[in-house]
Amino acid sequence: MKNKSKILIANALASVLTFSLLATSCITPGGYEEDGFTVKFDYNDGQSRPYSVIAGEGESIEEPTTPVREGHDFVEWRTTNGEDSQAVTFPYTPSGNVTLYALWTAKACTVTFDMNYDNDEDIVKTVLYDNKVTPPTAEEIPSRNGLEFYEWQDKPEGGSSVNFDEYVVKDDVTFYAIWASGGVFTISFNGNFDGAQEYEAKKVMSGTSLKSKDAPTPKRTGYDFVGWSFNQNATEKSECITFPYTPEADGTLYAIWKEKTYVVGFRYNYVGKPAVLFDQIKDLRLGDTVAAPVTEPTRVGHTFNGWWTAAQGGTKVEFPVTISDNATYYAQWVSDAVETNVFHAEFTFIDPLEKFPGYSGAADGAGIITSDGAGISGIIHDSNDYPTNSVVPDSVGHFVTYLYKQGATLTFRIFSTEDVSGVTLKANLATEFVTGVTVGPTGENAWKISVNGTELNYSPLTLDGELNVDSNATPFKTYTIATNVSLKAGENVITFVTSNTNAIIGGTTGAFAPMVDCIMLNTTGSAKFSYHPIYDNLWYKSLG
């Protein structure tokens, strides 16, 4: 090691700090052949990134350029970020890896309360930067013949009122007393119902007006706010004051309310559905209860699966429901079981609230389903494997991609007529932007495959093929994952989970995973396989 320190990392600093560094490139410790001790400088301001230097054993480092922080004075560097820390003297010789912390003191700001008339005596307070200030009390403000103190403003004349509950001192500042010659009226606000919030009264100088922004905006569950009125029993907007309002005396304004009515709608929730709602209930009040419709909706090729809070996912509604707002409930459906050994990825459940990253953007929910485009071949078409028992837009040739984040999961729920072993599991897969990538249960491109919660220790798969220049994708090919899979009678859950952070595709991706067209299950036994395709996924995708 040469007898001088080397900058290890020079990170970009926040705009509030300025530093003069000897290097601006980012260099990792692996870039040095010789070992040394790392000294990290933590600016301890909640914004700036630290930077580090390396010093060899026995070497010393010089103090960096004095940092600058808005509203603060730099004191010194310390060995820990606590009150009992030791000050560091430079040149500094480290005995191991260490972090040094900047110590700051907040600047003292002068806040002047100017009484705003001849021969007055200002009230001056000292407040630390980024703190609030308490205005003078009524006892501290002098009395004036024929004049009454009104408020503090930011200018001697024509200024704006200062809200000291929100004002934060950042620098020396002066506030000015405003005096009223014709008196000051006090207007109080009453929420006008049991449990209403209490509001601060407003003072209005004689001859000036109370503006709408000066009045609170009250809230009451189950009611709409109509306006403010001096008549506590008012019911109509015409009985309320209009802003700006010029008071002529002290008074109390009462909030006027109108009870809300709510609507609950029940929707069929499928493509080709009737044009009208299945049911609708109007003129409901807060606390009313609603039962499920007596008659259940029907759909060809599907079984009604209850009313839910969302078109996809959501929560199943338990009736009766107590009304607290407008609501829409959606029929959800389970398609008739399809007996097949080919299970298409686009017909599995995809969480509508989940966001998946792509090369130059992201897709939500069913947006990860992609139709075959130019140059993408090898897709097993849905029409070859499923009966036409649902109205589905363009159901031929889809696959799932965008699984480029750690934890992205594709789930197949498959039913078997009996317990069976020795099942062969295959998948029709492709890649985009890259080719010749190997995935397996472990490694930098880990892709975990589980059957009923048990991970398969399958042999790694090398996904190859020539990239098509129009689609940036390889053709789909069928890969054998395992030949000894065991399934139970009834439902079986097969999951494919992206378990890496190797974003080799680049762009905005966060991991690598294959594109998935479908999986296949083959057996020589008598077991029959089926599942319930979610045909509506393609409808949801078309809506997105």
Point out the least confidently predicted range of 17-31, 276-290, 526-540: 17-31
pTM for the whole structure: 0.64
Distance of CA 283 to the CA centre of its chain: 35
End-of-domain residue from the set 67, 88, 105: 105
Q: How many domains does the chain have?
A: 5
End-of-domain residue from the set 240, 259, 278: 259
State whether 538 and 393 are in the same domain: yes
Q: Give residue 238's domain range.
A: 184-259
Distance CA 156, CA 176 (A): 5
State whether 205 and 244 are in the same domain: yes
What pLDDT does residue 475 have?
94
Distance CA 534, CA 398 (A): 13
State whether 432 and 523 are in the same domain: yes
pLDDT in tens, 156-215: 998 888 989 899 999 999 999 999 888 889 999 999 999 999 998 988 888 888 999 889
Residues 6+ apart with CB under 8 A from 416: 487, 488, 489, 490, 492, 527, 528, 529
Q: What is the CATH number of the domain that holds 46?
A: 2.60.40.4270
Amino acid identity, residue 280? Q
Q: Which of 390, 344, 338, 345 is nearest to 530 (CA)?
A: 338
| 205 DSSP β-pair partners | 184
Report percent pLDDT > 70 for the chain: 90
State whether 315 and 370 are in the same domain: no
pLDDT in tens, 42-78: 999 988 888 899 999 889 999 999 999 999 999 999 9
State whether 272 and 348 are in the same domain: no
What's the whole-number mean pLDDT along residues 107-128?
93
Distance CA 379, CA 396 (A): 9
pLDDT in tens, 483-492: 999 999 999 9
State whether 236 and 275 are in the same domain: no
What's the whole-number mean pLDDT along residues 76-93?
89
Q: What is the CATH number of the domain that holds 488?
A: 2.60.120.260
Q: Is the pLDDT of residue 2 over 70?
A: no
State whether 343 and 486 are in the same domain: yes
How buried is residue 247: exposed, middle or buried, by Cβ count under 10 Å (0-12/13-18/19+)?
buried
State whether 218 and 358 are in the same domain: no
State whether 416 and 480 are in the same domain: yes
What's the whole-number mean pLDDT along residues 247-252?
93
Q: Is the pLDDT of residue 392 over 70?
A: no
End-of-domain residue from the set 105, 125, 149: 105
Q: Which of 406, 429, 315, 312 is nearest to 364 (CA)?
A: 312
Place 389 in a pLDDT band, splitting at 50, 70 and 90. very low
How buried is residue 238: exposed, middle or buried, by Cβ count under 10 Å (0-12/13-18/19+)?
exposed
Q: Which of 463, 441, 443, 356 is nearest to 404 (CA)?
A: 356
State whether 169 and 193 are in the same domain: no
State whether 352 and 484 are in the same domain: yes
Point out the least confidently predicted range of 10-19, 191-200, 429-438: 10-19
Helices (H) then strands (E): counts for the chain: 1, 35
The residue with greater pLDDT, 444 or 275, is: 444
In angstroms, the Cα distances linking 229 to 209, 238, 244, 368 are 16, 9, 14, 55
State whether 407 and 467 are in the same domain: yes
pLDDT in tens, 311-361: 999 999 999 999 999 999 999 999 999 999 999 999 999 999 999 999 988
